[in-house]
Amino acid sequence: MPENLMLRQPMPDTKWSAGSLRITSQTVGASEISARLGIAPDDQFERGSLTSPRNPSSVRREVNVWIRRSGLGSDRWPEEHVAALVRLFDGHREELIRLSDACDLEVVLGFGSENGQGGCVLPAHLLAEVGALGLDVVLDLYPPTPEDAATGT
């Protein structure tokens, strides 16, 4: 069979997802958020700190930032990350509601795929639990780069 008629084997599709709870505030410090929730963050940044500590001329943060990741691997579905975060914060519902007076509380989901396709279902019961915690949902999509398209990945 001539080469131009041979079927090309599809490249494996590499999908990934991540999830975290991000709390930001102009007035409540990251260390105070930890103390109030009784949960240690995976990352925290104070207002006025450099966004890139190795670059003294980098921009300074305008808000305090507190981040706790779901703890799941990138091979898990986005709804699994959300469910893990709901389980982690469910016992802290009242403190989250108190924090929401001076903070923005967001479940942040990241999703990427080499071919640009993909998605997930966030079941109604899970969205209701997220809403009961007073959390907004932010979805960050990462499409393939122009380099991926050029190489066929």
pLDDT at 13: 58
pTM recorded for the entire structure = 0.82
pLDDT at 115: 74
Q: Which tops the pLDDT comparison, 149 or 77?
A: 77
Question: Which tokens go with 70?
Answer: 């779901």
pLDDT at 151: 44
The SS3 call for residue 30 is helix
Q: What are phi and psi of 144, to 5 degrees?
A: -60, 150
Q: Which tops the pLDDT comparison, 117 or 65?
A: 65
pLDDT band, very low/low/confident/very high, at 146 (cuts 50, 70, 90): low
CB 95 within 8 A of CB 129: no
Helices 124-132 + 78-89 axis angle, to 10: 40
Question: Which tokens go with 24?
Answer: 């930001």
